[in-house]
Structure formats: C-alpha cells, structure tokens
C-alpha cells in the first residue's frame, strides 16, 4: 500500500519549529555548516505479547500474555517457534525500505532486538520511526502486540533504543585515527566529551515518558550515569574503535520509547556541541563502572529532566526556544497526568491496610 512520510511546515513553507523531523533537520543543517555528515544506526529491544487491542482492553491493561516464556536471549529455539512472524519482519521491512542488519531474541520473555542498517541520520530516523509502526502492523496479523515501552515489567530488564554514530566528510569516517592508541580522532574525543558534558540537558528527548525512568535502575544494563568507556556496555557512551569503517560511538542511554527524530537530534547536538567548543575527554570508566563513583546519576523522574531541559542554554542554542518551550510543556502535561493517576501499585499497597 502506498505510504507517504511527511513533516510539518508553516503557511509560508518554512520549517515548523516543533515538528520532530524538522527539529532533527535543523541540527543536521548546522552539522553541514561544520563540514560533517552524521551517520547513525538505531537498535531497538521490545516485548511481544499474545494480545489484541480487544483482549488488552478486556484485561484493563493488566497481565499481558508474553509471546514466549523464559529469558532465552539469542535463542534459535525461541526464534523458530515464531518463525512466520520473525520472517515477516525481516522480509517486509526490507520491502518497506528498512534494511535490517540483525534480528534476534533478547534476554526476557518474548523480547526481540533489531539493528537497523546504518545510514545518514535523517534516513535512519525515518527507518526507525517506520520500523515501530511496521512491527505493530505485522504483529497484528499474527495476534501479537509489540510494545516499545522502556520498562514493561519491574523484575525484568528494560528495553533500549541505542544509537550508533559517526561523522563523515562524505568519503571518510572522521572518528578514526590510526595514529591514536585508541584509534580515536581528536574530533571523536570532543564529540564524546560533548555527550558526557551535556547529554543530561537533553534528558526528556531520550527519556520522554513516565515509564522511561523505571528503566534507569542500578544493577541492570541500562546506564544511569553520564560515563564513557572503551567497548564498555555499562557506560552511557560506549566507544567502539577499530577499523576505519566501523569506529563509532554507541549512545546507550535512550530507551525504546524514544521518538527517533528527537533522540537523534539530542545525541548529535550534544556531540557537536563538544566539537564546536573543542571539549577535552576525561578518563574512561573501566569494568562495571569503576571510576564513576564521584559522578552523579541521572535524574529519576520526567519532571526533573524537563526542568533541566527547559533551563538549558545548550538545548535552546541547538533546538530553538520555540521547540524547547513547547516540548517542555508537553512533558510537564504528561507529569501532571501521572500525578492525577491512581495506579495498581497504590491499590495493592493501601486499599486494605489504610
């Protein structure tokens, strides 16, 4: 079926200030003026449930049946048990212009992980946003409901939305330097330093929902501090340095619940801020966050990150006052809805004993 992917413009044809796709394009236009082209690759983890909109409504949003039992990360057995669904994702996404580099089960009942083919940043964001809706459309044919919530279950790992990045001049990967012991160029070091220094100022763009912060739990894989490390999956910013082609940064903070346009705009803006300012990169953490003891952890609530974002001169510089004020207002509204809600947790904790 024909599909048109659009973006918002003003009556005079100029970019609309609060449109997510236009927001990313503003950041990329500034990157172009700096002589660099951001290249990105998106990964999503997500839960799959044996539900339909009708069955889920009948359950009042509680007790979704998971696609498969057990943890079973990287399992051939669990993939094969849902082979038609698995194959449909691989084949139909490719036909929809979304090349998939990898698709496998991840740790958790009914959890899959996808790596979308690397591309220029705007194209990657398009692919990522279309992958989410495509997975839901394909799943519905098999009686499966995919969910990209960051943390659907308290006792299970959350779902990430990692973003791989490098900068190109159109021919070469500008992050690679064969003479550097770490194979990192000075530009790469400043890019990472920018994310370490100010990623928290873009917090609502990478953790946009109330549920996002339930994923940021100490002891799980989701990093909770603005740290960097060499091929260290416990760090927020994982440097993968090796060949001229593959050297890149993996930003591991975002969850699967992100809007890809906004998350990509945030990580690229933070990195390029470091390049513009020539920021110096500090020491990496080693092991499981060794060396991060003195670094404050990320805020635990949406309203905290929203207030930081709203006051951020860096966010306003890169995204514009109109976008920052509008997006902050939407996150404040979301927080107020949460404050007014009566949850299952409250009913279980207080109903009988108060």
How is the chain split into domains, by residue range? 20-340
What is the CATH code for 20-340?
A: 3.30.590.10
Q: How confident is the model at residue 218 (pLDDT cuts 50, 70, 90)?
A: confident
Percent of the chain with pLDDT over 70: 100
Q: Are 43 and 162 in contact (CB under 8 A)?
A: yes
- For the chain, give the number of residues: 354
* Count of C-beta atoms within a 10 Å radius of residue 267: 28
Q: Given pLDDT bands bounded at 50, 70 and 90, which one contains residue 59?
A: very high
Give the pairing of strands 111-116 and 248-251.
unpaired
Q: How confident is the model at residue 242 (pLDDT cuts 50, 70, 90)?
A: confident
How far is residue 21's CA from residue 288's CA, in Å, rounded to a whole number?
Answer: 36
Q: The tokens of 101 are what?
A: 């580099």
pLDDT of residue 2: 84
Q: Where are the alpha helices (DSSP H) in 66-120?
A: 76-81, 83-95
pLDDT digits (tens, 9 = 90+) for 24-35: 999 999 999 999
> What confidence tier does 289 reach under pLDDT thresholds 50, 70, 90?
confident
Please report the pLDDT score of residue 352 as a whole number. 96
Give me the pLDDT at residue 222, please.
84
Give the Cα separation of 211 and 293 in Å (integer): 26
Distance of CA 341 to the CA centre of its chain: 26
Mapped onto helix, strand or coil, the DSSP state of residue 250 is strand
Give the residue-averaged pLDDT of 315-322. 98
Q: Is 112 helix (H, G, I), strand (E, B) or coil?
A: strand
pTM of the model: 0.96
Of the listed ranges 60-64, 204-208, 263-267, the one predicted with least confidence: 60-64
| pLDDT band at residue 216 under the 50/70/90 scheme | very high
How far is 70 from 97, CA to CA, in rounded Å? 33
Average pLDDT estimate for 220-235: 90
pLDDT for the residue numbered 104: 96
């Amino acid at each position: 079926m024909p599909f048109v992917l659009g973006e918002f413009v003003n009556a005079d044809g100029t970019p609309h200030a609060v449109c997510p796709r236009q927001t990313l394009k503003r950041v990329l236009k500034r990157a172009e003026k700096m002589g660099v082209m951001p290249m990105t690759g998106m990964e999503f983890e997500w839960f799959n449930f044996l539900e339909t909109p009708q069955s889920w409504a009948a359950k009042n949003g509680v007790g979704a049946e998971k696609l498969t039992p057990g943890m079973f990360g990287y399992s051939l057995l669990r993939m094969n048990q849902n082979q038609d669904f698995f194959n449909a994702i691989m084949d139909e996404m490719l036909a929809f212009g979304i090349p998939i580099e990898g698709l496998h089960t991840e740790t958790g009942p009914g959890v899959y992980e996808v790596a979308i083919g690397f591309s220029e940043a705007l194209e990657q964001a398009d692919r990522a946003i279309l992958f989410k809706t495509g997975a839901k459309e394909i799943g519905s044919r098999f009686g499966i409901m995919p969910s990209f919530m960051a943390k659907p279950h308290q006792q299970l790992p959350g779902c990430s939305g990692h973003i791989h990045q490098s900068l190109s001049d159109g021919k070469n990967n500008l992050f690679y330097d064969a003479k550097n012991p770490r194979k990192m160029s000075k530009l790469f070091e400043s890019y990472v330093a920018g994310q370490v220094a100010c990623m928290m100022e873009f917090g609502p763009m990478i953790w946009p929902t109330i549920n996002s912060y339930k994923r940021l739990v100490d002891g799980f894989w989701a990093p909770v501090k603005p740290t960097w490390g060499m091929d260290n999956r416990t760090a927020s910013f994982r440097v993968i340095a090796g060949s001229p082609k593959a050297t890149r940064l993996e930003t591991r903070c975002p969850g699967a619940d992100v809007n890809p346009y906004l998350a990509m705009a945030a990580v690229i803006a933070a990195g390029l801020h470091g390049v513009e300012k020539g920021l110096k990169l500090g020491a990496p953490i080693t092991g499981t966050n060794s060396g991060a003891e003195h670094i404050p952890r990320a805020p635990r609530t949406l309203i905290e990150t929203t207030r930081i974002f709203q006051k951020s001169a860096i966010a306003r510089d890169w995204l514009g006052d109109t976008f920052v004020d509008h997006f902050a207002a939407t996150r404040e509204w979301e927080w107020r809805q949460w404050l007014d809600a009566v949850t299952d947790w409250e009913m279980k904790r207080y109903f009988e004993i108060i």
